Structure 1
Amino acid sequence: MANYPTELELDVVLKDGAPAKVRPVRESDSNLLEDLFTRLSAETVYRRFFQTKTGLSEKELEYFTHVDYAERMAFLVLMDERLIAVGRYSKLLDEPVAEVAFVVDDEYQGRGVGTLLLQLLTEHARDNDISGFRALVLADNYGMMRVFRNSGYQLARHLEDGVYEVDFPTAYTELAREQESKREQSAVIASLLPLFYPNSVAVIGASRNKASIGGRLFANLLRVGFSGAVYPVNPSASVVSSVRAYPSVMAIPDSVDLAFIVVPQEHVYEAVADCVEKGVRGVVVISAGFSEVGEDATEQALVDLVRKGGMRMVGPNCMGLLNTDPAVNLNGTFAPVYPPRGNVGMSSQSGALGIALLDFAKRLDIGVSSFVSIGNKADVTGADLLLHWEGDPSTDVIVLYLESFGNPRRFSRIARRVARTKPIVAVKSGRTHAGRRAAGSHTGAMASSEVAVEALFRETGVIRTRTLNGLFNVTSLLANQPIPSGPRVAIVTNAGGPGILAADAIAANDLDLVQLSDDLQDQLRSILSAEASITNPVDMIASAGADAYSRTMRAIMDSGECDSLITIYIPTTSEGHEEIWNSVQDAAMSNTAVTTLAVYMTAHRNRRVDDQLRLPTYTFPEEAAQALARAVRYGEWLRRPEGELPLFEDVDSEAAAATIDAALARMGPEGGWLTPGEVERVLEAYGLTLPASKVAESAEDAAAFAADLGRNVVLKAIGVVHKSDVGGVKLNVEPDNAAAEFIAMMASVPDITGVLVQEYVGDGHEVIIGMSDDPSFGPIVAFGMGGVTVELMKDVSFRIHPITDVDAGEMMTELKSAPILDGYRGGAPGDVPAIREALLRVGAMIEDHPAIAEMDLNPVKVLEPGQGVRTVDARIRVAAANPYYIPSRHNMPGIQ
């Protein structure tokens, strides 16, 4: 039997929100299969085996439990170590098609188990070069046919003698992706319902000491008026806050949906075990002392217990959660503040900062729909919360404070979709402490974890702010105003100085201070006094009152000449503030097509109109400009086409795979750097040709090769990364001098293992295309201006693989030096379309060969338009691929 693939063990969530475990079958699983069979109804047995059966034979059990995990595969679904379903496929002998079959315990049918198994089997079959599935289904097996119909794959059905033969390709489709996303969302939302909408709550560790965490949390539940029953659990007290207390959760006479656990770490496991036995559906572990202090095993035991009990868990090491929906009024935190009701969903990985977030939200009148302090996120993660808020009609904006990612790929996949309908604003800490491993390439040295985070946020549309103050500035804007339709900004002010500051801030944030038309200026001239400036910024002067503000704002907004309007007010008298505020509010509300921001250079705070905050207000113009710039970039991301992954018909992936496999066989699973000849073969398989070259065995060999070429050559030291630093590159060497340069290089360059003699490529812009495999984020693709100064200049753009045609174009235009490629100041332009194609070919190579761990194409010479690009130097490192990162592996539903 092949080695058991532990990496394929998964924690998943079923359609009804119940957690389950999925793993490959083992030879020792015969007893589990026999036990499942005894629980199957006669009807289910007949539909699976097309005959009546009373048991499984030894031969059948051996066949079912002995697989090779490639051409024959089986996944088991277990709940509380009890087998509830099996899905398997077996490849047919003469074609790349496998027969697929399922059986699900009657008790669990209709809960999405068959759909889950079909998705997992299809993914695994695709990774093992099985191009299609075939299934035989009884015509009256409506449930199984529904699973196939709803899979998103193109079915071919043939009915004969009451049996359908169903065939479909395993190739991923957009419809399959959509169906999987819908299933994942519905499963996670169902699993989180007991956390956000419980009918009854227990506080294990509720205290009569109002200053304790247990006392404060219990008091908060009572103070805001939770709509359900509240049960304090305290073995030392009969009453807590005038509510009858119970010695344990088991002693509570009624059912409990949600339990908050506020006990010392050594008692948490026992408390959760009691909740499992009681049938509690969700727990929030406030207690600390787990993975944050190195107790990873203790935390994992807690997670295993929670999942065994079919619960979801927030924490441990958190400050709780709240839901301001009047239908529930749940304040399960120990925070001293409770925010106003609103449309912002918030999450914090830090409990202390979570309290600060709630405090600022209340002081700034930013309404919150729900808040979750996820702590160590051992079970419920930020990605789960995104799915919840995506389906929550009360949430329009999502705010995250992040310290780390549990599963960056899952977060990325979900955030990319959620951000299309609801803006996500995030602060990610640790920007300056990202570790940088010792790298063997330019790309590896530059592609730190912080680079990966930036790339993730950019690609998914997440709006990143550097500070908490910036987070609230952006959130206030997005929660109350339309997303800007473009970068055009107009400014209205009653003082010249603030107007100039605002104009500078607009320019500094790459926004467009729009030039007002003559017609609009004439209209403003008729409204304002003769001393006013009617260019942009419009300075109405200090005497401007409420009427001037209102008419000026409306004229500009109705003109259609700006996408956003910043209105500045600085008090010049002690009277009229309220009147001016009301006129600005009314004007802003009169035109919802223009994004409007107010700068009140006073201690004035946000105010509400009809219980809805209409106008985000800032103290200084720079704050408004920075918030607006992030909103504008988000709007541009929304309008940006999603892009495509092009297919190249001329690639020879099998030839590249053969080269890589042979290299790994030679080097072992740890891998290493490919030889120059291997690099050349891999690149040529993807249409990325290198200049003619040869590894010279001697000075005579170098001279002979140069003579055969009949043109100048380049000599490069083999085995050295920064060749130029140590004299390991000799350019434009004449054939007659090749032998002498070979001898000199071998004698002078440290750590040299050989010399590559290569055809000399003439003038052209030098760029770098590279890839480094981040242990958490997967492959990161880099593009920038190349050559020996690449790490000095750091003019490089990054994307997390895979990259689309749109990504490739943006990676080029993002460079500060991008104008050079277009012929800056009369310089020679480069073949930009050829660069884009080279980037995409590298992306295709990475997609096809997960064993590629690091790559540098540096320099790539960009020739004149129409002449293409030439890869002058290249290095590729390979290693045995982590199956978790094999393409599309991360698309599993409900993976924690």
Structure 2
Amino acid sequence: MAAYPIDYDFHVVLRDGGLAHIRPVKPEDTDALHAMFHRLGRESVYHRFFRHKQDLSKEELQYFTSLDYDDRMAFVVELGDKMIAIGRYDRMEDDPTAAEVAFVVEDGHQGRGIATQLLVHLTNYARNNGVASFRAFVLPDNYPMMRVFRSSGFQLHREMGQGIYTVEFPVELTDEAKRAGWQHEQQAVAASLLPMFYPRSIAVIGASRDERSIGARVMRNTLGARFSGIVYPVNPNAPAVGSVKAYKSVLDIPDSVDMGVIVVPARGVLSAVQECADKGVKALVVISAGFSETGEGGTKLETDLLDLVRNAGMRMVGPNCLGMLNTDPAVNLDVTFSPHHPPRGNVAMSSQSGALGIAILDYARQLDIGISSFVSMGNKTDVSANDLLLYWEGDPSTDVVLLYLESFGHPRRFSRIAQRVNRKKPIVVVKSGRSQAGARAASSHTGALASGETAVSALFRQTGMIRTDTLEELFEVASLLANQPLPKGRRVGVLTNAGGPAILAADALEAEGLTLPLFSDKLQAALREVLAAEASAGNPVDMIASASPSNYQACMRQLLASDEIDSVIVIYIPTAPRTERDVENAISEAVVEGTSGKTVLGVFMEADEGDLGPINRGDIRIPSYPFPEPASRALAHAVRYAEWRARPEGVIAEFDDTNTDTAQDVIWGALGRLGTEGGWLLPHEADAVLDAYHIPHPKSRL
């Protein structure tokens, strides 16, 4: 008998956004299974056993719960401490590569995607234990079960005999099965986060009259954003907060509450969350600090918090976070304590650091980068970057995603999700904790365990995410991606009224791997018709200091109509007072008239300090930069991303002559020697791993 497979214990999100616990069956589950059987409807029992049964015998209960976790395997689904479903397979005696599979879901929970989740876990376990195909016997009127199989993406073979369908399918994970699984996952996670992004009512637990307190600032922001629903302050010591009637407990609120925002000391968080669970709250934002970032005692408190949240079927942002906001006018949500509220736009942003989130929101406001939604994850105990990416993947208000990360909770899942989302919407990320000192600081800040820099860099390259070194660079790229089409190639034209900045631009562009092609005689002739005699019509196009707005507009028309370049960087240094707006208008009008879809960036080198945002003329928004270098850097990031997205997805190569077990033994042995920090393999260990995968390498001798 195999050991209990503890690695197959999961919390999952269901189709309707609810949470459930899936784990392998244990012998002590007999009472829970017996109780579930008696809650099943007559039809459910008949569909499972093909006859009417009044009860399960002691022998049957023991048979269903005593497994060898090899030839016989089963998973149960729990809500809290109640079993609501079970799925199992039994290996066929005449064919050990095939197994019979069966499910039963309690009537009140059918249609929530539970059987689909069971099928996913059973097929995954079967593949890893030598089972190649499943066989199910289904009554003709068991339409829900047939729907589960049809929507699974597996290649089904169905036959009717003696009034029963026999459904057979290989458990190999085909591309269609992967797509079906991804779609189920995206829809389920998005549904679970809807009460978070679109609550109809909010209880601010810890709302305060002290204007200096975080509770007061959260309450002020919630009301100041003109939240479309109802706000209930919860304060046991005040009859009202901010002129709004207060309640001693969330349980005293007479109406339903969708979201609870908790701003109380850490020692009071668990009781506040329990009251939210009893009230039926669906979403929590726990701003309170004092959890895993503080050490062992805080880690235990955070574990208890997560257990409480999951058992109640809630989703939670935090703890130790700034809060979140959603600028959609349908909700106008701001449950942060930030003093800054960004403009509405098409950029979604997540920060693992709360304090840094305040600076990020302020910077977005200064640069006029519109935010669709912002989430401060904090310790990301429940809702993580993976969940947010799945939500933003289907969010029509979001075109660009920005992430500030200190760690990865599930790198493999993050890589899979990010690679898919990045094909539709660019993801720009700053990952801190590169150095040993930075990783140590991240751990003490949000309780994060930083990942190895080499592995992180490889992950970003493989998934096509745009990695920037600084937050400033992150916003440089975001301003371009949010406002302009992706570049179609590496060819750049530069238009300027000063030679020095054009040289800087040329150097920066070539350093980034972009090209400035010398314009054809035909294009140069067309440009000279609108330029002064002293001007240069090559590339860069130097119109000299006397260039007027009309010169900018005429030259822009020629460049945008040309098929010799893919992007244009237009540089302007003011040579007379109050001329910037006229030049901006001229550039915008040329872009409006053009139909080439070229990427356009502006460089205004003496813009007022408070005028850092893009050129905004109705539907035309052109990102503006103070110097040529950041514009060149942002354009290069966009070019490389566009090239990655244009490449075929490809397939993962599979080899049947590898020795995975040997490689795993070497790696686990090395990890035992290196500890949790990891490190490099010794030469003989590296040789053994390479040999296991038949990768040629120079022979070494010690």
Query: Is residue 407–residue 451 contact of structure 2 (8 Å, CA) maintained in 1?
Result: no
Would you say 1:629 and 2:636 are equivalent positions? yes
What's 1:387 paired with? Answer: 390
Would you say 1:599 and 2:603 are equivalent positions? yes
AA aligned opposite 1:263: V
What's 2:60 paired with? Answer: 60
Superposed, 1:333-352 pairs within 5 Å as 333-352=336-355
Query: Is residue 433–residue 439 contact of structure 2 (8 Å, CA) maintained in 1?
Result: no
What's 1:356 paired with? Answer: 359
Superposed, 1:27-42 pairs within 5 Å as 27-42=27-42
Superposed, 1:368-387 pairs within 5 Å as 368-387=371-390
Query: Is residue 2–residue 70 contact of structure 2 (8 Å, CA) maintained in 1?
Result: no
AA aligned opposite 2:634: A
What 5-or-longer segments of structure 2 have no aligned partner? 441-449
Work out the CA distance in 2 between the residues paired with 1:600 and 1:854. Answer: 55
What's 1:522 paired with? Answer: 525
Instruction: Give the counterpart of 1:617 among 616, 624, 647.
Output: 624
AA aligned opposite 1:630: H
What's 1:246 paired with? Answer: 247
Work out the CA distance in 1 between the residues paired with 2:650 and 2:687. Answer: 25
Work out the CA distance in 2 between the residues paired with 1:417 and 1:775. Answer: 30
What's 2:500 paired with? Answer: 497
Query: Is residue 436–residue 449 contact of structure 1 (8 Å, CA) maintained in 2?
Result: no
What's 2:646 paired with? Answer: 639
What's 1:132 paired with? Answer: 133
Instruction: Give the counterpart of 1:873 among 686, 699, 702.
Output: 699
Write out per-residue CA displacement over residues 93-149 of structure 1, whole angstroms, 9 at most, x where no aligned residue.
121100000000000000000011001100110111111000000010000000000
Alpha-carbon distance, 1:282 to partner: 0.6
Secondary structure at the residue paired with 2:638?
helix
Change (3 A) 1:869 1:214: closer
What's 1:148 paired with? Answer: 149
Alpha-carbon distance, 1:409 to partner: 1.0
Alpha-carbon distance, 1:854 to partner: 7.9
Write out per-residue CA displacement over residues 275-303 of structure 1, whole angstroms, 9 at most, x where no aligned residue.
00000111100000001112111101101
Alpha-carbon distance, 1:57 to partner: 1.1
Change (3 A) 1:40 1:631: same
Change (3 A) 1:361 1:869: closer
Query: Is residue 89–residue 100 contact of structure 2 (8 Å, CA) maintained in 1?
Result: yes
Query: Is residue 490–residue 562 contact of structure 1 (8 Å, CA) maintained in 2?
Result: yes
Work out the CA distance in 1 between the residues paired with 2:50 and 2:680. Answer: 50
Work out the CA distance in 1 between the residues paired with 2:140 and 2:580. Answer: 76
Query: Which range moved further: 568-577 or 268-277?
Result: 568-577
What's 2:12 paired with? Answer: 12
AA aligned opposite 2:24: P
What's 2:105 paired with? Answer: 104
What's 1:414 paired with? Answer: 417
What's 2:116 paired with? Answer: 115
What's 2:169 paired with? Answer: 168
Work out the CA distance in 1 between the residues paired with 2:394 and 2:627. Answer: 36
Work out the CA distance in 2 between the residues paired with 1:204 and 1:855. Answer: 57
Secondary structure at the residue paired with 1:214?
helix
Would you say 1:25 and 2:25 are equivalent positions? yes
Work out the CA distance in 2 between the residues paired with 1:202 and 1:18. Answer: 20
Query: Is residue 449–residue 774 contact of structure 1 (8 Å, CA) maintained in 2?
Result: no
Change (3 A) 1:549 1:98: same
What's 1:756 paired with? Answer: none
Write out per-residue CA displacement over residues 493-512 of structure 1, whole angstroms, 9 at most, x where no aligned residue.
00000000000100111111
Work out the CA distance in 2 between the residues paired with 1:366 and 1:19. Answer: 35
Alpha-carbon distance, 1:613 to partner: 6.0
What's 1:257 paired with? Answer: 258
Q: Percent identity?
A: 55
Query: Is residue 434–residue 450 contact of structure 1 (8 Å, CA) maintained in 2?
Result: no
What's 2:316 paired with? Answer: 313
Query: Is residue 339–residue 367 contact of structure 1 (8 Å, CA) maintained in 2?
Result: yes
Query: Is residue 588–residue 615 contact of structure 1 (8 Å, CA) maintained in 2?
Result: no
Query: Is residue 351–residue 403 contact of structure 2 (8 Å, CA) maintained in 1?
Result: yes
What 5-or-longer segments of structure 1 have no aligned partner? 438-446, 674-771, 782-786, 789-851, 861-867, 876-896
Work out the CA distance in 1 between the residues paired with 2:311 and 2:494. Answer: 59
Alpha-carbon distance, 1:611 to partner: 5.3
Query: Is residue 603–residue 619 contact of structure 1 (8 Å, CA) maintained in 2?
Result: yes
Work out the CA distance in 2 between the residues paired with 1:855 and 1:531. Answer: 68
AA aligned opposite 1:291: S
AA aligned opposite 1:403: E
What's 2:445 paired with? Answer: none
Query: Is residue 85–residue 106 contact of structure 2 (8 Å, CA) maintained in 1?
Result: yes
Change (3 A) 1:48 1:216: same
What's 1:460 paired with? Answer: 463
TM-score scaled by structure 2? 0.93
Work out the CA distance in 1 between the residues paired with 2:439 and 2:325. Answer: 38
Alpha-carbon distance, 1:645 to partner: 2.7
Alpha-carbon distance, 1:463 to partner: 0.6
Change (3 A) 1:774 1:109: farther
Write out per-residue CA displacement over residues 469-521 of structure 1, whole angstroms, 9 at most, x where no aligned residue.
10000000000000111111110000000000000100111111122111101
Alpha-carbon distance, 1:435 to partner: 9.5
Work out the CA distance in 2 between the residues paired with 1:611 and 1:332. Answer: 30
Secondary structure at the residue paired with 1:527?
coil
Query: Is residue 857–residue 874 contact of structure 1 (8 Å, CA) maintained in 2?
Result: no
Query: Which range moved further: 324-333 or 635-644?
Result: 635-644
- Larger Cα-atom Rg: 1
What's 1:449 paired with? Answer: 452
AA aligned opposite 1:626: R
Work out the CA distance in 1 between the residues paired with 2:113 and 2:86. Answer: 13
Write out per-residue CA displacement over residues 783-841 of structure 1, whole angstroms, 9 at most, x where no aligned residue.
xxxx99xxxxxxxxxxxxxxxxxxxxxxxxxxxxxxxxxxxxxxxxxxxxxxxxxxxxx
Query: Is residue 662–residue 689 contact of structure 2 (8 Å, CA) maintained in 1?
Result: no
What's 2:558 paired with? Answer: 555
Secondary structure at the residue paired with 1:115?
helix
Change (3 A) 1:147 1:853: farther
Query: Is residue 592–residue 620 contact of structure 2 (8 Å, CA) maintained in 1?
Result: no
Query: Is residue 615–residue 623 contact of structure 2 (8 Å, CA) maintained in 1?
Result: no
Work out the CA distance in 2 between the residues paired with 1:369 and 1:206. Answer: 26
Alpha-carbon distance, 1:433 to partner: 2.2
Work out the CA distance in 1 between the residues paired with 2:363 and 2:439. Answer: 35
Change (3 A) 1:225 1:435: closer
Query: Is residue 76–residue 85 contact of structure 1 (8 Å, CA) maintained in 2?
Result: yes
What's 1:566 paired with? Answer: 569
RMSD: 2.7
Superposed, 1:222-301 pairs within 5 Å as 222-294=223-295, 295-301=298-304
Change (3 A) 1:358 1:773: same
What's 1:676 paired with? Answer: none
The number of residues matched between the two structures is: 682
Would you say 1:93 and 2:107 are equivalent positions? no
Work out the CA distance in 2 between the residues paired with 1:283 and 1:853. Answer: 46
Secondary structure at the residue paired with 2:374?
strand
Secondary structure at the residue paired with 2:513?
coil
Work out the CA distance in 2 between the residues paired with 1:128 and 1:150. Answer: 24
